[in-house]
Amino acid sequence: MLDCLERDTGPEPVYSVIWLHGLGADAGDFWPIVPELGLPASPAWRFVFPNAPVRPVTINGGMPMRAWFDFFSRDSISPMDTDGIAASCRALEELIEREEQRGIARNRIMLAGFSQGGAIALRTALLSDRPVAGIVALSTFLPPLEPLEPSASAKGLPCLAAHGRYDEVLPLRLGLDSRARLEAAGCQVEWREYEMGHQVCGPELADISVFMQKVSGAMTGTG
């Protein structure tokens, strides 16, 4: 089981967000943004921030760092570290199951991730045979699913996909391609672009807050 930091917006959370950091960051990277989202104290949310395993990363000269999978090239996302991606998706699925064991229904668990973390969140949600509440995919891309196919649970899945127009790490075209693939799988995609690079900005946090509250409103009375 991955080690995690947790932060609740109030007592007795009824919703969970499992939020995955990007390459070389750690569980504390998005910890400070929780109060900035301005979510109501009741009903409360639990934010779970897992640490990626430490592994050598090829594009950084083999230097060990926290990474959900290896990156082999700065110029292309292909070829992919399919074994590393699959292992991280399994680890995320374990965290989802743990939240269920703690009393949070699966349809009240949202996945979020930045860059590499978003790739793992997207792939996990699309291949899961039971739907989560939704996905927040920030400056990221959908990895290849082959030979697997998107699950039927992907149909109607709410997804906020956001990208910087000047992203120098994962260019905007990767986000746009992922958007098309998500829509083809049946996801309900809300697409946002911002005047920024490979980062997070204030207007984006505001959009995340609106999306989360909208999805939680749709969850009210379920599961």
CATH number of domain containing 135 = 3.40.50.1820
List own/partner pairs for 175-179 with CB under 8 A and 24 or more apart.
Answer: 175/139, 175/140, 175/141, 177/141, 177/142, 178/122, 178/137, 178/140, 178/141, 178/142
Answer yes or no: 83 catalytic: no
Task: Give the contacts of 123 (CB within 8 A, at least 6 positions apart).
Answer: 85, 89, 142, 143, 145
User: How many C-beta neighbours within 10 Å does residue 13 have?
Assistant: 21
Q: For each of the chain's 223 residues, which pLDDT tens digit applies?
A: 999 999 999 999 999 999 999 999 999 999 999 999 999 888 999 999 999 999 999 999 999 999 999 999 877 778 899 999 999 999 999 999 999 999 999 999 999 999 999 999 999 999 999 999 999 999 999 998 887 899 999 999 999 999 999 999 999 999 999 999 999 999 999 999 999 999 999 999 999 999 999 999 876 544 4
Among residues 16, 70, 88, 115, which one is catalytic? 115
Catalytic residue among 21, 167, 178, 216: 167
Number of domains the chain contains: 1
Q: Is 198 a catalytic residue?
A: yes
pTM score, two decimals?
Answer: 0.95
Active-site option among 26, 198, 207, 209: 198
For 6-22, the pLDDT digits (tens) are 999 999 999 999 999 99
Q: Rg of the chain's alpha carbons, rounded to an integer? A: 16
Q: What is the pLDDT of residues 110-130, one digit of tens each?
A: 999 999 999 999 999 999 999
- Count of Cβ atoms closer than 10 Å to residue 205 Cβ: 14
Residue 103 φ/ψ region, left for φ over 0, alpha for ψ in the -120 to 50 degree band, beta for the rest: left
Give the model's pLDDT for residue 222.
Answer: 47
User: What are the strands, taking DSSP E only, across 140-187?
Assistant: 158-164
Tell how far CA 101 is from the center of its chain. Answer: 21
Q: Which residue, 145, 150, 179, is CA-closest to 162?
A: 179
- Catalytic residue at 167? yes
pLDDT of residue 223: 45
**DSSP classification of residue 60:** G
Provide the domain limits for residue 37: 4-219
